[in-house]
Structure 1
Amino acid sequence: MRALVLTGPGRAEVQEVEPPVPAPGQVVVDVERAGVCGTDMELFTGDMSYLRTGRSWYPLRPGHEWCGIVTAVGEGADRSWLGRRVTGDTMLGCGHCDRCRAGRHHVCADAAEIGISRGFAGALAEQLAVPATALHALPGAMDPTLGALVEPGGNALRAVRAAGLRQGERLLILGTGTIGLLAALFARAGGAEAHLMGRDEATLSMAARLGFGHGWTRASLPALPWHAVIDASNASHLPALALDLVEPAGRVVYIGLSAAPSTIDSRDLVLKDVTATGILGASAGLAGAVTAYADGSVDARPLVAATLGLAGTAEVLTGRRPAGAGAGPKIHIDPRR
């Protein structure tokens, strides 16, 4: 089968590789759609910290936002998965440690991440092997575009839940990329008043297309009480700004990661009695994202600017947008093309 392989920093190519055979407890999925994520781009450039710590290494097959049809099951896996459209959890814990048994498999010390770490092959390929325990069934009417947006949606939903907003409370989201826009969609669906802050007016255009009338730059941001702030940016200075802007006794949620270390003043955290939460992974938000997409309360499809074949992935990883792409921040890959 064909798969995208990262062979070193800045090097990616489509290769012919052996198709997966399901191990006991695994299924094989024919991938219909896979999203290109900022993590994939960091793995491509070599900037991802896992490459320095030894948790990831080249050659590497990326792709952790996906959906597809189950076409084979291994020994011990439920055969009722055959023929079903599914997506899956990126975070694969050992299943035996205290963290896994407590439902925190996403922070298991021995966790593998599909398409990211410990050599687990990803979904930017025609087929993917994945543990059946990681699967989430998708309703038959849900199209592949939404199916491949469940993983980033689960991350965004977890961030919104951590913000702890009550009906009508005001949320400020720093960053207008995929996670920031998804967080705004989930917050609006839950009854919150969602505002977004972008670098400039151009970065706020997609928010306006999605019907968000409260889009600001730092210069235009009004002095309103922000009951919660979500930092969904990759800017090293914005974690401190989030803490500065949030209301006393409010909540700050950190889901963005900057390339350089960021700092906050813990005295501000204490003296404002602020609750700060970090979000890693979509695991606990996947089911909720599927439900929101299925019932129509959140439509994330406008975030996808273009869908390319597998051969177009390398160019996307360099940061270049394909010709004719729409305004959305997300690029999808159809590995069957």
Structure 2
Amino acid sequence: MKALAMTALRQLELIELPMPTLRSPHEVLLQVRCVGICGSDMHYYETGRIASRRVQFPFVLGHECSGVVMATGAAVQRVKLGDEVAVDPAMSCGQCDQCRAGRPHTCRQLRFLGCPGEAPGCLSEFIVMPESSLYRTYRRLNLTQAALCEPLSIAVYAVRLARLQPGMTAGILGAGPIGLCVMLAARHAGAAGIWMTDRLDYRVAFAHQHGATWAGNPDREDVVSHILHSQPAGLDVVFECAGQQAALDQAVELLKPGGTLAIVGIPREDRVSFHIDSLRRKEITLVNVRRQNQCVQAALDLVAAGAVNPDFLVTHTFGPEKGAAAFAMVADYRDGVIKAMIEF
């Protein structure tokens, strides 16, 4: 089968790999149809690592995907041949203390698509997944939307974890795909206003066009002063979706006493810091968002019901033979890209 593999930093090639086979009665063979390029993919593409996870070349990236069931193990019950499915890229053991506590996303034996040392990614024609990671679409949404439900599910979980309630105010720092998905989830949760920032002007305009109450560029204006002028008491919740120290600092300034800072973005540095006096005096709650924690079905249901429409996120679509060009475009923020999708 064909797969798009990372063969060096900022270099991808279409290579031939053996066809994957079912090794467990609970596994399913999928024909991959749509794969979204994610910010974490770009970490590996540009630096070869995220924290302790380091790429060994060649390596197949990708974890946002949808597909069609081609074969099932003898014990599979959730899906059947020909089903279109969305994929939760996390594969948990179901037996450890974390899984038993309802935290399969922090499973002691967790394997994740496209994570070095855990599992190869989904930028290939076929993959094998446990049935527990698959969610039927019942053709209520298309395969592109099904793939988008992976980042959307992270946003749904982030909003739940931050306990955003109707009437609360929210800040979202970073207007890339994850930040925009958080905007969608926050709007659906009833946020009274959503203030967004990004260092790229085209993303600022995109956020404003698609539902932000206000959006601004911190490199061009004092976004903290502007937002606090509008909301002098401060914001109830801020979602940091940029993975940058400056955004974390701005988040603490923007929050009202007793507010919540939800850390969604992945910093490239091994350490970040906080102004502890401000954090302590405001009694800010910090929550770390680790992937989607069983929220894929909720994301699917929102899209299928028309409560959330993520279609606008996909600005570019490529075939796998153009995968290298797609990654280069995303890395360099060219051509107004928000979400690039690879279609097999």
Taking structure 2 as the reference length, the TM-score comes to 0.90
SS of equivalent to 1:296: coil
| Other-structure match for 2:120 | 121
- Structure-2 change in CA distance of 1:114 and 1:320 (3 Å): closer
Shift of 1:177: 0.3
Aligned partners of 1:302 and 1:328 also within 8 Å: no
CA distance in 2, matches of 1:205, 1:38: 20
| Other-structure match for 1:296 | 306
User: For this pair of structures, how many residues does the alignment match?
Assistant: 332
| Other-structure match for 1:203 | 203
- Structure-2 change in CA distance of 1:270 and 1:210 (3 Å): same
| Other-structure match for 1:329 | 338
- Structure-2 change in CA distance of 1:241 and 1:211 (3 Å): closer
CA distance in 1, matches of 2:290, 2:180: 18
Aligned partners of 2:330 and 2:340 also within 8 Å: no
Aligned partners of 2:318 and 2:326 also within 8 Å: no
Match of 1:251 among 257, 260, 263: 260
**Residue 162 of structure 2 aligns to which amino acid in structure 1?**
A
| Other-structure match for 1:12 | 12
CA distance in 1, matches of 2:79, 2:117: 29
| Other-structure match for 2:318 | 308
CA distance in 2, matches of 1:57, 1:142: 36
Aligned partners of 2:262 and 2:286 also within 8 Å: yes
Q: Percent identity?
A: 28
Q: Output one character per residue of 1:284-323: Cα deviation in whole Å (capped at 9) or x when no partner.
A: 3212111111111110010101110001111222345899
| Other-structure match for 2:60 | 61
CA distance in 1, matches of 2:332, 2:282: 45
- Structure-2 change in CA distance of 1:55 and 1:93 (3 Å): farther
**Residue 315 of structure 1 aligns to which amino acid in structure 2?**
A
* CA RMSD of superposed structures (Å): 2.2
What does 1:217-256 correspond to in 2, within 5 Å?
217-218=217-218, 219-220=222-223, 221-223=226-228, 224=231, 225-256=234-265
Aligned partners of 2:236 and 2:259 also within 8 Å: yes
**Residue 163 of structure 1 aligns to which amino acid in structure 2?**
A
| Other-structure match for 1:45 | 46
- Structure-2 change in CA distance of 1:39 and 1:222 (3 Å): closer
Judge which range, 121-130 or 176-185, deviates more. Answer: 121-130
Instruction: Find runs of 4+ consecutive structure 1 residues off by over 3 angstroms.
Output: 53-56, 319-325
CA distance in 2, matches of 1:55, 1:106: 20
What does 1:177-216 correspond to in 2, within 5 Å?
177-192=176-191, 193-199=193-199, 201-216=201-216
Shift of 1:328: 5.0
Aligned partners of 1:152 and 1:178 also within 8 Å: yes
